[in-house]
Amino acid sequence: MSGSGGSIRVLNVAEKPSVAKSVATLLSGNQGQGLRVREGRSRYNKIYEFNYSINGRPCHMLVTSVTGHLMELEFEDRFRKWHACDPALLFTAPVHKKVPEDKLDIKRTLEEEARRCQWLVLWLDCDREGENIAFEVIEVCTAVNRHLTIRRARFSALTERDIYNAVQNLVNANKFFADAVDARQEIDLRIGASFTRFQTMLLRDAFVIDSTASDRNLVLSYGPCQFPTLGFVVERYWEIQSHEPEEFWTINCSHKSDEGTATFHWMRGHLFDYACAVVIYEMCVEEPTATVTKVRQQEKLKKPPNPLNTIQLEQRASIYFRMSSEHTMKVAEELYQAGFISYPRTETDGFSERTDLHAIVEEQQRHPGWGSYAQRLLDPASGLWKNPSNGGHDDKAHPPIHPTKFSSGESGWSQDHHRLYELVVRHFLACVSQPAVGAETTVEIDIAGELFSASGRVILAKNYLDVYRFESWGGSLLPTYEFGQQFVPTTLTLDSGVTRPPPLLSEADLLSCMDKEGIGTDATMHDHIKKLLDRFYATKDSSMRFSPTNLGEALVMGYDDMGYKLWKPYLRAVMERDMKAVSEGAKSKAEVLETCLQQMKACFLDARLNKVKLFEAMSVFFERSSRPSGDDQHTSGEFVRQCGLCHEADMVLRQNRDGNFMVGCLGYPQCRNAVWLPGSVSEAAVTTNVCNSCTPGPVYLIQFTFRRLEIPPNYSANHLGCIGGCDETLRQLTEICGTGSRLSARGRGPVTSNNNVPRSNTRQGPCIYCHQAGHSSGDCPSQSSGPRSVRPQSMNVQSARGRGPAMSNNVQQSNTRQGACIYCHQTGHSSGDCPSQSSGPQSARPRSMNVQSGQVSTSCSTCGAPCALRTANTIANRGRKFYSCQSQACNFFVWEDSLNNDNGGRGFQRANVSASASNPTRSGGSGRGGRGAGDAAGVSFVSATGDPVSGRRCFACGDPSHFANVCPNRGN
């Protein structure tokens, strides 16, 4: 559908409502007819209509806007919850762009208007970020009208001249720019989310962290630009802390005459050897006559500044006005949107030949403060004009920041608006001016062979300094000296001093470091600095200088102790160069994403393996918390498989405080699916091998190491096993040894167990501590609180880098009343320190296996060899008889009481339902006695020992023979 009279209907989209209003007002005032305003779906984004002519073609213009990015990059839903997956998976998890809920009205406006238009003209900011937003708008509009002609308006200031030139010279959108931003967004999202979740879940609950946020809302964020920025602050702080003052000595000389006083400085500077300095000084005192050896007079120039870019604007506003970079950009953006200055986000510091510099100066002649200087600039007779220098940076998008409209001060401006506008104007006038000229005199003298010098300066022509009041060119006038002249100094002294450390980084210094190392862009640097303050990683004092907080220093120290330079700028600088290559078309987005993410994933996995370094660094500054650590239940572990119960979160291998291993769902507490592993496991690690039997896959195999004394002699202490339900060895050892404790440490109360979690044997013998019945050893009232696995030790953490000793953490010792060791039955040591046990912390409930030979009464169903009758002596199955094959290759095992029940060598069959709890939907099983979900409805639920589990019913139909996840009536 065309506009009125056959004109082209053009949808114009700006980045902000204020820009849309300015564009519509300027174009309609130029040659437009009858500017009309109507409401869009969003009340903040109005639609302006008027008629216009583009290159002689009549157009009906509709101008509306977005509010920054229209879309957000996010993970798919199953990866968005913090405990839904292993953070390492976020490096490869699917991501997509989506219009968030609060911008759906803007999207609807664009769709409605695009359906009725032939052209789409994009008025987004002309940098990479603006180009990316442009392609978001294109995606929304072309989804409803794929026949749109798409054009791009390029402008740098909201002035009539710039807007008119932009609309009459439309160009194509730059896909390379948009791809560079897409790459940055995805890299930052994946790296930031993975490290942030890792840090926060690992440390937040483990330590009492003094911050402005509440404990539960505290986020220990990691950003690939934010962390190197913090690194600059911490590194300078460490440099100051490690500085050791050193005394030095220097010789000072002065000479007073009728023309004034000259101060001469020793050309050696200073000496650290006192005896040497004294000898030289005494030589000078003995022969004090000074001889002038050189008088040099020369003209010196002080050059005006280069044209203003974003970094220089932020630095100078910080130095001159003590304005933060974040606030500076906010004020500059408001001045730009009101049309008073050009686009404030630019790397360019050189004007092109096309820029009419004289026209910009002419607009400023009326100002009461600098108007007279502008008039002198335009007067050829003054000789004040000089074409500006070029700083060598050009982002190919915008010119340097300069004034675009005259103002002597608007009524709605704050003091900072006045200051920043004045800085932009005076800086522009200065950069088109001649340099200041001075006459500098240098005098050198000789006293007893030692050389001293003095210098003085007189300004001959201030030139640009007349308007650029923020800079000065100080200097004193020297008395007149002639070559060969001799005189006796008025004073000659030997003075001492001490070396001083460098100062803390100022905001201008920090911006310089970031710019030099390529951290962030001109449009984002101030955001990274603000993030440090918001996250309480650093503080800024009244002098605009930064110090790290304990939290910021601890995090950097932890990564530094690991040996990884994640807090250094090198990795991010490489990423920035790669993204620049994408914007230039030299590299593809996919190539950069693959390279960066592979590198950072390797760093992440290494950092997680060395997480103890983070704990040690945090312990230097913070006390350990009494709250359950995030490492107990919520922190991520090694990914094993996707949960077969909730089908949303992942199941990971974890170890609780008592040393017991389990594979649990990260969706806890919403999903309580867990597979508890045999209590005899001392070590477990997920491998890259995948089970070929269990589905749905992948199910990664786990390398187990068992405590030799807690398993029968015919089982290997090392086993590569699967928790999916097909592993007979793992199932048998679970039967023999029982599973690890699922109770929290004493005093915290029991953790509610899921129906699908295998249970320990409920038959109890006497307590191994007090030898009384009625309670388990884990709940023995005679024992001190806390897990038995804690070995007495004293931790004295020394602070790093010369900061002195930190607080000593004394771990409370276990009950000192000792009977015989439960392992070797000897006195003189506790079971936790028994030399007969393998190294490493023991389980909270000590176990030992004492197998006694018995008579042969059954044969192995695999090899036919006779099996010995043995007796289990574990806590879970003490006194229970079982048969097992001597050959480790057979893995044959059966309880004696199972044979009495006619189960014929398949006594472990009853454990299959619970052992496969993590995969209830599996069809069939490759192991002996395996059952699929389809058969589950025909059996009663049993525990890991084969004993019936009572009091459990399907919540869907009430049948006690099955759970709801395999209910045949589910969904009816």
Q: Is residue 905 part of a domain?
A: no
Question: Rounded to two decimals, what is the model's pTM?
Answer: 0.65
Asked if the structure places residue 957 within a domain, the reply is no
Q: Which pLDDT score, from 0 to 100, does residue 709 have?
A: 86
Q: Round to whole Å and give the CA distance between 25 and 481.
A: 68
Of 634, 725, 779, 646, give the one whose Cα is nearest residue 926: 725
Considering 624, 644, 666, which residue would you say is the last residue of a domain?
624
pLDDT higher than threshold 80 for residue 824: no
At 388, list the tokens: 């500006």
82 vs 800, higher pLDDT? 82
Query: Are the C-beta atoms of residues 178 and 135 closer than 8 Å to each other?
Result: yes
Tokens of residue 442, six digits: 């240098």
Query: pLDDT of 269-318, one tens digit each?
Result: 999 999 999 999 999 999 999 999 999 999 999 999 999 999 999 999 99
Q: Are 638 and 723 in contact (CB under 8 A)?
A: no
Mean pLDDT of 702-726: 90
Q: How confident is the model at residue 645, as a pLDDT? A: 83
Q: What is the CATH number of the domain that holds 264?
A: 2.70.20.10
Cα dihedral across residues 97, 103, 104, 110: positive or negative:
negative
Task: Look up the CATH number of the domain holding residue 420.
Answer: 1.10.290.10
**Hey, which residues does 858 pair with through a beta bridge?**
867
Return the SS3 of 920: coil
Q: What is the pLDDT of residues 654-673, one digit of tens each?
A: 887 677 888 888 877 677 78
Q: Are residues 169 and 31 in the same domain?
A: yes
Q: Are residues 268 and 288 in the same domain?
A: yes
Query: Do 30 and 114 fall into the same domain?
Result: yes
Q: At what angle do helices 226-241 and 550-562 cross, to 10 degrees?
A: 90
Q: Report which of 325, 805, 276 is spatially closest to residue 531, judged by C-alpha positions.
A: 325
Same-domain check for residues 53 and 151: yes
Predicted local distance difference test score (pLDDT) of residue 968: 60
d(C-alpha 660, C-alpha 682), whole Å: 8
User: Which tens digit of pLDDT belongs to each residue from 433-474?
Assistant: 999 999 999 999 999 999 999 999 989 999 999 999 999 887
pLDDT of 905 strictly over 70: no
Contact 625, 208 (CB under 8 A): yes
Higher pLDDT, 401 or 475: 401
Q: Rounded to whole angstroms, what are the CA distances from 449 to 235, 283, 288?
A: 42, 9, 10
Q: What is the mean pLDDT of residues 586-598?
A: 93
In a domain, 20, yes or no: yes
Q: Is the model more confident about 929 or about 328?
A: 328
pLDDT band at 238 (very low <50, low <70, confident <90, very high): very high
pLDDT computed for residue 832 by the predictor: 45
Tell me whether strands 638-642 and 650-655 are parallel, antiparallel or unpaired.
Answer: antiparallel
SS (H, E, C) 830-895: CHHHCCCCCCCCCCCCCCCCCCCCCCCCEECCCCCCEEEEEECCCCCCCCCEEEECCCCCCCCEEE
If pLDDT is split at 50, 70 and 90, which confidence band does 522 have?
confident
Q: How many structural domains does the chain have? A: 6
Residue 65 lies in a domain: yes
The percent of residues in the chain predicted with pLDDT above 90, rounded, is: 47
Pair 673, 703 in one domain: yes
pLDDT over threshold 90, residue 400? yes
Tell me which residue range forms the domain holding 252: 247-304+437-498
Asked whether residue 849 is domain-assigned, the answer is no
Is there a single domain that holds both residue 234 and residue 251?
no
- CB of 874 within 8 A of CB of 765? no
> Which residues have a catalytic role annotated?
343
On whether both 728 and 675 belong to a single domain, the answer is yes
DSSP 352: -
Residues 166, 211, single domain; the answer is no
| Nearest CA-CA partner of 156 in 351, 305, 329 | 351
Residue 742, pLDDT above cutoff 80:
no
What torsion, rounded to 10 degrees, do the Cα atoms 749, 755, 760, 763 define? 90
CB–CB of 237/553 below 8 Å?
yes
CA distances from 292 to 118, 267, 285, 487 (A): 84, 14, 17, 9
User: What pLDDT sits at residue 209?
Assistant: 84
Edge-first strand order for the sheet with 718-721 is: 681-690, 700-706, 718-721
Tokens matching residue 731: 């199932």
Instruction: For residues 149 and 26, state if they share a domain.
Output: yes
Same domain, residue pair 721 and 703: yes
Average pLDDT over residues 698-722: 89
Say yes or no: 594 and 686 in one domain: no
Q: What residues contact residue 415 under an 8 Å CB cut-off, 6+ apart?
A: none
Q: Which residues of 175-197 are buried (b: 16+ CB within 10 A; e: fewer)?
A: bbbbbbbbbbbbbbbbbbbbbbb
Question: Do the domain assignments include residue 589?
Answer: yes
The verdict on residue 261 lying in a domain is yes
Which of 477, 498, 519 is the last residue before a domain boundary? 498
- For 298, the token pair is 């020369």
DSSP notation for 400-452: -B-B-S--S--TT--HHHHHHHHHHHHHHHHHTBPPEEEEEEEEEEEETTEEE
pLDDT given at position 769:
43
CATH number of the domain that 16 lies in? 3.40.50.140
Q: How far apart are CA 914 and CA 739, in angstroms?
A: 12
- What is the CB-side half-sphere exposure of residue 470 using CA atoms within 13 A? 21
Residue 814 or residue 819, greater confidence: 819
Q: What is the pLDDT of residues 445-455, one digit of tens each?
A: 999 999 999 99
Residues 110 and 204 in one domain: no
Tokens of 821: 């060791």
Q: Give the count of beta carbons closer than 10 Å to the beta carbon of residue 453.
A: 15
Q: Is the pLDDT of residue 208 over 90?
A: no
Whether the CB-CB separation of 665 and 646 falls below 8 Å is answered with yes
For the cut 90, the answer to whether the pLDDT of residue 925 exceeds it is: no
Say if 466 falls within a structural domain: yes
The radius of gyration of the chain from alpha carbons, rounded to an integer in Å, stands at: 39
